[in-house]
A and B are shown apart, each in its own frame.
Chain A
Amino acid sequence: MSALSIVGAVDGNVADAGKAIALALGIGLGALGAGVGIGNIFGSMIQAVARQPELRGELQGIQWLGFALTEAVVFYGLIGGLLAYVLV
């Protein structure tokens, strides 16, 4: 996987460029969604702790669970993009 495949497209290697774009779109759109989601989780956590500081310990477990579940979305995009890049 060379970092310069898009440059390669100038020489007429359009398929490689398409794959590179697919990979980038997979990661990028996945990260977009996960960014919103993770921001939401931590924002809600701050609000919750500000209102009821004594619940911090209990909430933290749920927070990290939600964080990891949301963050994994990026990686589904990444794996899909890598599959498109390597296999197709």
Chain B
Amino acid sequence: MKRALALALGLFLALPAVALAADTTTTPDKKFDPSEEWNLHEWIPIHLGPINLSITKAVAYLLLGALLSILLGVFLMRVKTGKDPDRKQALGEIIYEIARVQVAEQGLPTKAMRTWFPYCASLMIFIWVVNMLGFIPLPLSDEKFHVAGVAIPTLAIFAATSTLSVTLALAFMTWMFTHIEGIRANGVMRYLRSWIPEVPKALYPLIIPLEILGQFMRLISLSVRLYANMLAGHMLILTFIGLIFVLGNLFVGIVAVPAAIAFYLFEVVIVVSIQAYIFAALSAIYIGSAIEPEH
């Protein structure tokens, strides 16, 4: 039973390769370009004045991710706690414990726990789900292949977090909450003064611009870390598979496919979880250090 399941899963995962091969044989002069995956076409154009709210591939992935994280929370966490916990409850408790002990308690002071633990936990779960969705082949892509006259979207891997606007929005949320909480807990002047470390007064002209710049660098580093990790992961996998088509030799696949699988496993096992954990933990640390500055 398990073996049959693994075989079915393997065949399912191999399908995109067949579709891609079929695509390149029909249009042989089309050049392979992995960055084309990030050209987001507007599926449902919505333009509000200068603001573009169109539904694209990334938005579809985000909506799916949001739905799945809600379902994950409802099914795993909203259970009646019985005397003998079943597997579902145990899994829910593991996720809760990671979010609480490993993420929130890293940075948040105890008094801010009630307010900001839910934010950090949902950030962790949401980013994990969206990252993970990025490595499951789904029929959500701009390219179509035709079977008996019906255009079916090819299976493709794409993560919403590998677009900068998504991660920047998430990072901006944390950044805003950091300053709002810092001002609410300490007052404007005391909070701004807490940015400046204790140095001789003569160094202030040098330190103050650097510290202000540092606050904005947090925004960039938080968003670019997640974005570039996911982008580089997908780019590596696509490039290694694409080598077969760039060099036009099927035997390249003997090296390229295992290498791509190795990168895929590395991304799924390590990077996806680490990035979700890091983003949430750093959010907790930033918010916590704004509420209780060190001096």
Contacts and interface: CB of A to CB of B under 8 A. Distances in A.
Chains A and B come from one and the same complex: yes
A78 to B, nearest CB: 6
A61 B277 CA distance: 9
Determine the main DSSP class of B at the interface with A: helix
Contact of A61 (B102, B225, B239, B246): B102
B33 A2 contact: yes
B24 interface: no
Interface in B245-295: 246, 274-275, 277-278, 281-282
A46 interface: no
Interface string A42-79: 00000000000000000001001101110110011011
A51 B186 CA distance: 41
Contacts of A3: 239, 246
A68 B274 contact: yes
A1 interface: yes
B106 A72 contact: no
A45 B282 CA distance: 20
Given A1-B33, A67-B274, A72 B228 contact: yes
B54 interface: no
Number of contact residues on B: which range applies? 20 to 34
A65 B278 contact: yes
A65 B103 CA distance: 10
B35 interface: yes
B228 A2 contact: no
B278 A61 contact: no
B21 interface: no
Interface in B79-117: 102, 106
A68 B33 contact: no
Given A1-B35, A61-B102, A75 B277 contact: no
A68 B278 contact: yes
Interface of B: 31, 33-35, 102, 106, 221, 224-225, 228-229, 232, 239, 246, 274-275, 277-278, 281-282
3 shortest interchain CB distances as A-B pairs: A75-B228, A68-B278, A72-B225
Given A65-B106, A72-B225, 18 more contacts: A1-B35, A2-B31, A3-B239, A64-B274, A64-B277, A65-B281, A65-B282, A67-B274, A68-B277, A68-B278, A72-B224, A72-B228, A72-B229, A75-B224, A75-B225, A75-B229, A76-B224, A78-B232
